[in-house]
Chain A
Amino acid sequence: MKKITKWLFSLAAMFTLALALTACGGNDDENGTDGEFVSNLPDIRVTATPPAAPPADVDPVEFLANIWQPTRPITIVTHVAPGGGMDVATRTFIEIARCFTDATIVVENVVGGGTRPASTEVQSRPADGYTIFGAAMSNVNNAVAQQWPIQDYIGGYYWIAKIQRDPAAIIINNSARDAGMDFNGILQQARDMNGGQIWAVPLLGGNKHFEALLTWQATDTMGIAMPFESGPLGAAAVLAGEAHVQMGNPFDTAGRDLWVAAIASPERVPGFEDSPTFAELGFPQLNDMHMWRGYAVRVGTPPAMIEWFQQLTYFITHHPDWIAYNAGNAIAPTAVFTQEFHEIIQETMEITEYWLYYLGMLD
């Protein structure tokens, strides 16, 4: 019996080893891009006039109260955990909102599930204006990538206000910069490494991955996009030398031994004066890469509430504290409303679908 057991153990061990080695093998049929790219996305764009800017000498509190008066707390549901980008932006937004309205606005973090539960939560509540969806680009990326019902998860919203435009940045280690590395050096290194240059991105098939692909396309280089789950962990990989470049946002360098080698901005950003823009570097087509954050409500929400929130957004985005908060994080505090925001959403969907198809990541 002992001998049989020994034999079985040895056989089992060999079997495991052999199978483990084949684990990296292929599937029966490889998926890929066959034929012409045909978009399957619905058109969610709307035609609407943006709200007129409030008169300069108006009292904001009275002005807003005349449009709509909430009778109970308003909840902004966001997909990020406390401390995440959209969470901090929303909490700051709410703090400043107190200057203009007595309304109670609270943040509710519905995290996980690839951002879907947050959206589902908003969709499950009445379209009465008391629930707002605090969304970011990743919500739209995920809806397309994971093929959620677009008519519900994107078309089911009235995208009322985009509040932030976070520019893309190419980030390297400060020590590399001290050794003479700059954006052109990165390109040269990419060519020397023949496609082996490592670019840290949060995940594959996401916005930062697309930005890296756009950069390689524009500069005729190639690299490996490596997912590090979050901006800080991507920054850690660059600091450790595991990744050569991080595709991130200027904010990812804050306090760290990192340097922005190129920034997607019309002009140099205060606080990052030594970081050239893509246009300056000869790649103006990359100068518009950014991620956005904004708010949406369910279709069917009372128009008065929508107008109230848009005017509130207008006041907040012109408030010095909001401008200072964004400037500190190298973010453009843009206020873009309804029609233009819907255009941005449509564009985000189309870009996502195009790249996912191009990468063979769409089922």
Chain B
Amino acid sequence: MNTLQNLFDGATVMMAALPMLMVFIGVAAGIALGTIPGISTSMAVALLLPFTFTMDPISGMALLLGCYKGGNYSGCIPAVTINTPGTPSSVPTLFDGYPMARNGRGGEALGILLWSSFVGGIFGTIVLVLFASPMARWALNFWSAEYFALCVLGLASVATLGGKQWPKALIAVLFGLLINTIGVDPMGGPVRYTFGIARLFDGFGLMPILIGLFALGEVFHNIENYARGSAAHEKHVYTYPSLWYYWKLKWAMIRASVVGTLVGILPGAGSAIASFLAYDVEKRISKTPEKFGTGAPEGVAASGASDSANTGGSLVPMLALGIPGGPTVAVLMSAMMIHGLAPGPEMFRDETALVYGMFVALFFSSFFVLLIGWAGLKLWVRTTNVKKPILYTMIFMFTVIGSYSMRNSLFDVGVCIGFGVIGWLFKRFQYPVAPVVLGVVLGRIMEMNFRRAVLRDGMVSFYTRPLTVIFLTLAVAAVVTPFIQEHRAAKKRAAQAALTPTVPDDSEPSDLSNPSEER
């Protein structure tokens, strides 16, 4: 009842002309900037930050929250259209989104992304409104040992990412983990593997690696197999599924929203773990896991919803504890501080109307994302119909400027091209690329938390803390299960082969594999 009253107070503050306009502008700016590869959500929010100095706190926060939501959604768009993830957390979106777009299902993929983003956003905000304080308290149960175990669980998704090529997936993930050790020891020790390059003190930038491995790797691969003429004018006619089609994905979206929100609540875990975990969960429970990676709608729904729900989750520790849950939230937090507000339990108590006004702004942001996203859908999908000579050249230009602009560094451009070549070679010789990213994203968090846990309690912490034990057990199970399933399937196949001379294809087609039937 109290929450409802607070929400009403918040809505009273928020539902004025200026704050609403600010939410809309924020969402529009976030979407516009987020679709450009190389501009992260935190950059977009930081860009709008100075404009808020002269505004009242609620309008300023409305602008920034709108930008956060908009940027978060649109960061996944280039992942679908040109295989270029805008953020680490949008990597799983491209696993299925890009194959869908390549097969002329770009409209469908972007539609799923939009709706999953909406559902995830609303879900994350509801959790934020109803359970911010208790969930933040729950997050405090996570010590370094738990974070390490959570990373191990995230890493276990390599078992499903690799499929039958699991040894190669392991090679890829270990490559990612190894290159992640480059730079100053995160605990404050010596400089590792920089070979005299000062730019490597912080290790390789994440975005140049992502853009290089996926976008450049893909373009290099396409150019190697490029034939002038036929491919250059290949055009798709896009169709947009009905609402009923999206409704069928509701459980995938909700499951992913739960994962995204829960991981988002943990400060220091990062949205990428959530996205990979949500994708992994969806693939594991799917009846047709073999379709994942080739254009499974559930895969796009899972990563999109998780990524969006994560925004709500990551605001929980900031608002309830005063701890930013990620880089973008850190910028939001500094904006609040510039306005003389100190996020935390005191703000929850003393500035109730403002806090709940922000919640209302988040709800409206999700609706505006849906509105603007729907309007822009047909525009973005056209990207994939651009003539190949122009498209490939533009991807080159975006990768160069995107990797440069992160740190104003030509070195990062070199890194991007280097990883582009690595991505091409990996793709060419059938080594999966996604596990490299998993290793790079999780490596540093794993190292910090492992070493902190050992420093505090020694190895004891990994088998005496219940949550740690649960996560580690789940990780072991996640790795072992596919092997057991494969073993059983092989036995079954052998038994069937003994009975009949030919083995029929008994895999049931997914009811979502051909959406045209639903239209």
Answer yes or no: A and B touching, Cβ < 8 Å.
yes
A contact residues vs B (CB 8 Å cutoff):
24, 81-84, 87-88, 91-92, 95, 108, 110-114, 116-117, 120-121, 146, 148, 198, 203-206, 209, 224, 226-229, 232-233, 235-237, 239-242, 254-257, 328, 361, 363
Within 8 A of A (CB), among B178-210: 183-184, 186-191, 198-202, 205
Min CB distance A247 to B, Å, is 13
B184's partner among A146, A235, A256, A328 (CB-CB below 8 A) is: A146
Min CB distance B483 to A, Å, is 11
Residues in B neighbouring A81, C-beta threshold 8 A: 42, 46, 327, 330-331
Within 8 A of A (CB), among B294-323: 317, 321-323
Q: Interface 1/0s, chain B 448-470, versus A by CB < 8 A? A: 10001011100000000000000
5 residue pairs bridging A and B, Cβ less than 8 Å apart: A81-B327, A232-B322, A235-B323, A255-B341, A257-B345
Q: A232-B322, A239-B321 are in contact. Are A206 and B407 (CB under 8 A)?
A: no
* Besides A83-B334, A204-B189, 17 new A-B residue pairs in contact (Cβ under 8 A), listed by A number: A81-B42, A81-B327, A83-B331, A83-B333, A92-B338, A108-B408, A112-B407, A114-B184, A116-B198, A146-B201, A203-B186, A206-B188, A227-B452, A239-B140, A255-B342, A255-B343, A256-B323
Please tell me which stretch of B98-106, B141-149, B151-159, B277-285 contacts chain A, meaning at least 4 of its Cβ atoms lie within 8 angstroms of it. Answer: B141-149
**How far does the alpha carbon of A240 sit from the alpha carbon of B42 in the complex, in Å?**
27
Min CB distance A42 to B, Å, is 20
**How far does the alpha carbon of A239 sit from the alpha carbon of B317 in the complex, in Å?**
11
Highest count of chain B CB atoms <10 Å: which of A87, A198, A237: A237
B49, CB-defined interface residue at 8 Å: yes
Q: A232-B322, A242-B456 are in contact. Are A257 and B46 (CB under 8 A)?
A: no
Q: Contact at B144–A112, with CB atoms within 8 Å?
A: no
**How far does the alpha carbon of A114 sit from the alpha carbon of B190 in the complex, in Å?**
12
**How far does the alpha carbon of A198 sit from the alpha carbon of B184 in the complex, in Å?**
23
**How far does the alpha carbon of A203 sit from the alpha carbon of B452 in the complex, in Å?**
11
Nearest residue (CB) in B for A82 is B46
Residues in B neighbouring A110, C-beta threshold 8 A: 407-408
Q: Contact at B140–A113, with CB atoms within 8 Å?
A: no
Residues in A neighbouring B53, C-beta threshold 8 A: 95
Q: Contact at A254–B407, with CB atoms within 8 Å?
A: no
Q: A254-B342, A255-B346 are in contact. Are A363 and B190 (CB under 8 A)?
A: yes
Among all A-B residue pairs, the 3 with the closest Cβ atoms? A255-B344, A255-B342, A204-B188
**How far does the alpha carbon of A228 sit from the alpha carbon of B337 in the complex, in Å?**
22
Counting contact residues on chain B (CB < 8 A from A), the size range is 35 or more
B268, CB-defined interface residue at 8 Å: yes
Residues in B neighbouring A113, C-beta threshold 8 A: 198-202
Q: A110-B408, A233-B323 are in contact. Are A116 and B452 (CB under 8 A)?
A: no
B347, CB-defined interface residue at 8 Å: yes
Residues in B neighbouring A235, C-beta threshold 8 A: 322-323
Q: Contact at B268–A226, with CB atoms within 8 Å?
A: no
Q: Contact at A83–B452, with CB atoms within 8 Å?
A: no
**How far does the alpha carbon of A230 sit from the alpha carbon of B324 in the complex, in Å?**
11
Residues in A neighbouring B344, C-beta threshold 8 A: 254-257
Nearest residue (CB) in A for B54 is A95
Q: Contact at B338–A88, with CB atoms within 8 Å?
A: yes
Residues in A neighbouring B407, C-beta threshold 8 A: 110-112, 117
Q: Interface 1/0s, chain B 395-412, versus A by CB < 8 A? A: 000000000000111000
B268's partner among A82, A88, A108, A233 (CB-CB below 8 A) is: A233
B50, CB-defined interface residue at 8 Å: yes
Residues in A neighbouring B229, C-beta threshold 8 A: none
B267, CB-defined interface residue at 8 Å: yes
**How far does the alpha carbon of A232 sit from the alpha carbon of B342 in the complex, in Å?**
12
Nearest residue (CB) in A for B334 is A83
Q: Contact at A117–B198, with CB atoms within 8 Å?
A: yes
Q: Contact at B205–A112, with CB atoms within 8 Å?
A: yes
B501, CB-defined interface residue at 8 Å: no
B340, CB-defined interface residue at 8 Å: yes
Residues in B neighbouring A88, C-beta threshold 8 A: 334, 337-338
Q: Contact at B323–A232, with CB atoms within 8 Å?
A: yes
Residues in A neighbouring B187, C-beta threshold 8 A: 203-204, 227
A117's partner among B46, B49, B50, B409 (CB-CB below 8 A) is: B409
